[in-house]
Structure 1
Amino acid sequence: MADEFAKGLGILTTSGLAWMVLAGWYFTPSFESNAQLITAAPPAQPTVWDQIGIFLTDVFLWFAILGALTFWIGVPLIEQAREAWANRSS
C-alpha cells in the first residue's frame, strides 16, 4: 500500500504544482488584489497558447484530485475486493 500512496502523492504534488504555476500566470492580474488563482477572470483576449494554458489549468487541477483519490482510495478498494473474493470461494 505504500506504493499506491507514493504514486498518489507524486500525482498530487506534480499536478498541483503545474496547476499553481498556470493559475498564477493566467488568473492573477496583480498580487495586490484579492482576485487570485480561482476567483480571477481569465485574460480578455487570449491567444491560442493562452487558451491551451487555461485548458491545461483545469486538466491539471482535476488530474491532481482524481489521480490522488484513485491511488489512495480506488486501488486499495479494488485490491481488498479481489482479496475478499478470493477468500470467499476457498
Structure 2
Amino acid sequence: MTDEFMKGFALFALGGLGWLTFGGWYRTPSYYDIVQLVNPAEGVDSAYGEIGLVAGNAFFWLMILGALTFWVLIPASRELRAALDDDADAAN
C-alpha cells in the first residue's frame, strides 16, 4: 500500500512543480495580483509559448489524475477484486 502512495505522491509532486513552473512563466502577469496561476495566458505569440501552455496543462492533469489513480482507483480495484474472490470462495 505504501508503494502506491509513494507513486501517487511522486506524480502529484512532479505535476505540481511543473504546473507551478509553467503557470508562473505564462499565467502570472504580476506577483502582486491576488489571482495567480489560473489567469488566462496573455502575450503568448510563439510556438514555444504554446508548447509551454500545453505542458502546463499536462502537468496539472498529471498531478490530478496520477494521484487519483494511485490513491483511489488502484486500491479500490484491489479491494473489489478481493471482495469478489471472497464471494466466489464462499459460494463454493
TM-score, length basis structure 2: 0.88
Size of the alignment, in residue pairs?
A: 89
Moved over 6 A (4+): none
Q: Larger Rg: 1 or 2?
A: 2
Which amino acid letter does the alignment assign opposite residue 23 of structure 1? G
Give the distance between the partners of 2:79 and 2:72, measured in 1 at CA.
11
TM-score, length basis structure 1: 0.90
Aligned to 1:88: 87
Give the distance between the partners of 1:36 and 1:42, measured in 2 at CA.
11
Give the distance between the partners of 2:35 and 2:81, measured in 1 at CA.
47
- Structure 1 segments unaligned to the other structure (5+ residues): none
**Preserved contact between residue 29 and residue 35 of structure 1 (Cα < 8 Å):** no
Give the distance between the partners of 2:58 and 2:31, measured in 1 at CA.
24
**Preserved contact between residue 8 and residue 69 of structure 2 (Cα < 8 Å):** yes
**RMSD of aligned residue pairs (Cα, Å):** 1.2
How do residues 50-89 of structure 1 correspond to structure 2 at under 5 angstroms? 50-89=49-88
- Structure 2 segments unaligned to the other structure (5+ residues): none
What is the CA distance between 1:79 and its match in structure 2? 0.4
Q: Aligned residues: percent identity?
A: 36
Aligned to 2:46: 47
Aligned to 1:6: 6
